[in-house]
A and B are shown apart, each in its own frame.
Chain A
Amino acid sequence: MMRSSGNSVEVENLVKRFGDFTAVDRISFQTRAGEVFGFLGPNGSGKSTTIRILCGLLRPTSGRAIVAGYDVVQSPELIRRNIGYMSQKFSLYADLTVFENLRFYAGMYGVPAAELRARIDWALEMAGLRGRESNLTGTLSGGWKQRLALGCAVLHRPPIVFLDEPTSGVDPLSRRLFWELIQRMSSEGVTIFVTTHYMDEAEYCNRLALMNGGKLIALGTPTELKLGAIRGSLLLLECDRLGDAIARLRHLDGVRDVAVFGNALHLVVSEAADSAAIRAALEADAISVTSLHTIRPSLEDAFVALTARRGAEASSELPS
């Protein structure tokens, strides 16, 4: 029996099918209280579907999900009182003013009358919308809209907040501001569940779940993922005649993978291969090496490595 506290999310073998299509394929994970839990993956990998199930907006096909201590199938209404949700598409009323939207959602969430003014003031402050209370929401720029939507979603101080791609289509400065708000809420003990496909944003998360094709392919802190994904170490190589270099390196013992990164190459090598041997092999082919050194893998390296490995495993399962 799973026993959970008010601000955690527990998912066990969750499956969601739409007809023949499996959008979410037996995923399991648990969030910890007050953490920023990131859902990372390409479009169509099942992130939004999972978040909608957790908010009680979609019924799972099978499996279990407990949010804030309540089962998503049995008591979605109790869950809705304890969460804030921000959907992927901007979904406030464009024909209402900033203040009217805030007051409307305060009403929907049942914010007590005594607190109403203070909460709306807090949201205006947070979103940087003071002085724009009577502007029509539709006339605001993207960053303001996102921050207002976040303000509306947390007026009732929910212990868990679900944000579905909150920063898509927003300028970099606004994204940064938005993430500062997320960090602040997290430091106040709110559990934040956020989906993104920006790798740089994923670095801000305490823990990350990598989704691909409806499956959860990895789970851990950003550092764990980066280190665990790469079996061996990662080298950065700068040289001329990149094409010839790739062809040569593919056949060199100890080199697992070669990928182009800008005008350089990233090599995944086993511990056995040393850089001296690589340099020697290239120079034997008259390729001049400008630089060759070990680097820390980025999340993108990890993500590419993990999805590639999953793909290879999946194809090896196919009958030949």
Chain B
Amino acid sequence: MNLRRLLAISRKEVFQVVRDSRSLLIVLLMPLMLMTTLGYGVNLDARHIRVFAFDREGSQASQDLLKRFQSSAYFDLVAIVTDYRALAAALDDGRCQLAIVIPYDFSARLHDGRPANIQALVDGSDNNTAQLAIGYAQGVLASYGAAVQAEYLRKSNAPTVNPVLSVEARTWFNEDLESKNFIVPGVAAIVMAVVGVLLTSLTVAREWERGTMEQLISTPVTSLEIIIGKLLPYFALGMFDTAVCAAIAVWWFQVPFRGSLIALTVGSGIYLIAILGLGFWISVATKHQLAASQIGLVTAFLPSFLLSGFTFPIDQMPVGVQPFTYLIAARYYIVILKSVFLRGSSLGFLAGPLIALVIYAAIMVFLAKQSFHKSLA
């Protein structure tokens, strides 16, 4: 390998990127665009679930229960209706996501120590919200039930019974269970996948299309010099974008940053090499810019988005799909990102995903090198 030739290639690529306004726009705008759309747009939290109630009793006890829904951050008690049909209509046209029916003998049953049944109707068309709504509703009802029970025991002068089990839950790493803390760090992986694969996938294909490759390969330059020389500038751009993403995450979205900057830099660098290698391989294999960018988007963006654990936890995916996630570089990088931002893991704890990424990057560069021939046929 000849360093002068390698740097000559890099310098040429820099000139070309700087003069190609479309590439520059991708580099500069992509982190901002994806950070804002994904950071604000992908919200898996269920807050302010709209609740309609049909209170058939209208007693002090039923009002107490509804107040508990009212005061929960998860629910907005929108209206109390007076018949069942109004409740069904509200669910039908989406005015409420959860409908609660309190039976006419609610307080009497509580008074007698008999179980009272509360009916909850849930709009299941958004299953994520529906499940969360059921869970939160059960939480509200359980705490109300416990209070009623304690009151009942106190009144009946029964000997104090210690509760057998009680859960004292504390969440680590993402204390308020905010989904932005879960989503935003991962956006860097998507940005790099898009920027890295899209830009590099064009770089070789463009030279074949314009005929400049024929001249280039008639010189003594080696294929490895071409590959590394072409990837260097895009590596720098990718690292720049990573820094932009991290800065937006910490200073704009207020995502905690608890790990080491070194772990983030090392992990990002290796991930970037893997992604650039993939883009280069696609470019070498297709030789056409349009095909390269299409394949680049399909192989980099969609899997990084859907299969990497960015939006959906991998262990909750269908068993048949899970093995494919190992083929996605972003899978390993997302683990590193979440660890560095939320857990505060150091380099040592991240050995597993880091090694996986090193292997991934080595395979990609090898494939790019193998499929790039200094020949026209």
Give chain A's interface residues, CB within 8 Å of chain B: 52, 55-59, 76-77, 80-81, 83, 85-87, 89-96, 100, 103-105, 107-110, 149, 152-153
Contacts and interface: CB of A to CB of B under 8 A. Distances in A.
B252 interface: no
Nearest to A101: B12
B199 to A, nearest CB: 15
A110 B4 contact: yes
B8 interface: yes
Given A105-B219, A109-B220, A110-B220, A91 B214 contact: yes
B322 interface: no
A81 B220 contact: yes
Contact of A57 (B218, B221, B222): B218
Contact of B218 (A85, A92, A100, A107): A85
Contacts of B211: 87, 89-91
A80 B5 contact: no
A108 B19 contact: no
Given A58-B377, A59-B377, A89 B214 contact: yes
Contacts of B85: none
B2 interface: yes
A98 B217 CA distance: 20
A57 B8 contact: no
B327 to A, nearest CB: 34
A87 B377 contact: no
A108 B216 contact: yes
B175 interface: no
The interface centre, meaning the residue of B19, B214, B216, B222 with most chain A CB atoms within 10 A of its CB, is B214
A96 B12 CA distance: 8
Nearest to B217: A57
Contacts of B375: 57-59
Contact of A104 (B12, B20, B222, B374): B12
8 contacts: A83-B218, A87-B211, A91-B211, A95-B20, A96-B12, A96-B15, A100-B15, A107-B4
B16 A96 contact: yes
Contacts of A83: 218
B157 interface: no
Given A87-B218, A93-B212, A152-B215, 6 more contacts: A56-B218, A91-B210, A91-B215, A100-B15, A103-B8, A153-B215
B210 A94 contact: yes
Nearest to A162: B218
B377 to A, nearest CB: 5
Contacts of B11: 104
Contact of A109 (B219, B374, B376): B219
Interface string B201-242: 000000000111011111111100000000000000000000
A155 to B, nearest CB: 10
B47 to A, nearest CB: 51
Interface string B18-40: 01100000000000000000000
Given A95-B20, A96-B12, A87 B214 contact: yes
A85 B215 contact: yes
Contacts of A105: 219
Q: Report, nearest first, the 9 A-B pairs whose CB atoms are least far apart.
A: A107-B8, A91-B215, A108-B219, A85-B218, A89-B211, A91-B211, A87-B214, A80-B220, A57-B376
A123 B137 CA distance: 81
B2 A110 contact: yes
Nearest to B8: A107
B336 to A, nearest CB: 37
Contacts of A55: 218
Contacts of A87: 211, 214-215, 218
Contact of B5 (A59, A81, A108, A149): A108
Contacts of A109: 219-220
A262 to B, nearest CB: 38
B366 to A, nearest CB: 20
A87 B19 CA distance: 25
Contacts of B218: 55-57, 80, 83, 85, 87
B15 A77 contact: no
B214 to A, nearest CB: 5
Nearest to A100: B15
A84 B8 CA distance: 19
A76 B15 CA distance: 30
Given A52-B376, A57-B375, A91 B4 contact: no
Specify which of B9, B20, B376 lies most central, judged by the most chain A CB atoms within 10 Å of its CB.
B376
A108 B6 CA distance: 9
A106 to B, nearest CB: 8
A94 B209 CA distance: 13
B5 A110 contact: yes
A169 to B, nearest CB: 14
B74 to A, nearest CB: 56
Contacts of B12: 93, 96, 100, 104
Contacts of A152: 215
Contacts of A149: 215
Nearest to B213: A91
A241 to B, nearest CB: 51
Nearest to B4: A107
A108 B220 contact: yes
A92 B212 contact: yes
Nearest to B376: A57
A85 B377 CA distance: 17
A152 B219 CA distance: 11
Contacts of B20: 95
B19 A95 contact: yes
Contact of B16 (A59, A76, A95): A95
B22 to A, nearest CB: 12
Contacts of B376: 52, 57-58
A104 B377 contact: no
Nearest to A16: B377
Nearest to B6: A107
Contacts of B8: 103-104, 107-108
A190 B113 CA distance: 109
B219 A93 contact: no
Contacts of A110: 2, 4-5, 220
